[in-house]
Homo-oligomer: A and B are copies of this chain.
Amino acid sequence: MNDAAPQTRIQRENTARILDAALDVFSTQGYGGATLDQIARGAGLSKPNLLYYFNSKAAIHTTLLAGLMQTWLDPLRAMRRDGDPVEEIVAYVLRKLDMSRIYPRESRLFANEILQGAPRIMGQITGDLRDLVDEKSALIATWQAAGQLAAMDPRHLIFSIWATTQHYADFDVQVRGILHPEGDRHFDAAAVFLADFYRGALRPRV
């Protein structure tokens, strides 16, 4: 039963509960550290029943990763040529930060996969991801050539955006441990900081 789309209501529900529980576990324990027991418990299902919906531990993990990359690229894809370059990039930063706020577990799942050497998504990295980065880097270079943006390596600029925004999801406990606890309000502070920060760094130097 790992075909196409789920059919019945129960299937849809259980599949969703499994993926949700699996996201919890994989994103914190990593693939090797996760156990089906934890996932089954989290989903409120017996282990064999869980395996009735997904044939293996790997299948669950694969399913989670499958949709991830595309969702992950959406904010960058949405960066457009028209409009002010600096604001276009700042908007991208803020969209990406929003992803970290809304989907922190997905971010950590992704981070775990990369830390392990990306055994399952290397293809997507050197494929879709690299292509998109190449394309957007060219766009940024155009802006820079036009003097609308400070000169700097576009790829490393993109890396910096990923790093600074994902940090708030991946290193969440550290961030919270250092900032005196304030719920999720630090995301607003982060947004303010990052917007200022990137505006400062990106504005063309005279």
> Which residue numbers of A lie inside 8 Å of B, CB to CB?
27-34, 108, 111-112, 114-118, 122, 125-126, 129-130, 133, 150, 152-153, 155-157, 159-160, 162-164, 166-168, 170-171, 173-175, 177-179, 189-190, 192-194, 196-198, 200-203, 205
Once the chains bind, are A200 and B150 in contact (CB under 8 Å)? yes
Q: 17 A-B residue contacts at CB 8 Å?
A: A28-B117, A29-B30, A30-B112, A111-B111, A114-B173, A115-B170, A118-B177, A122-B173, A156-B193, A156-B197, A159-B164, A159-B168, A159-B175, A160-B164, A160-B167, A163-B164, A200-B205
Minimum CB–CB distance for A96 against chain B, Å:
12
Minimal beta-carbon separation of A154 from chain B (angstroms): 10
CB <8 Å contact, B162 and A167: yes
In the complex, chain B residues whose CB is within 8 Å of the CB of A177: 118, 122, 125-126, 129-130
CA A198 – CA B164 in complex, angstroms?
13
Pairwise interchain contact B155-A178, C-beta atoms closer than 8 A:
yes
Chain B positions within 8 Å of A193 at CB level: 152-153, 156-157, 160
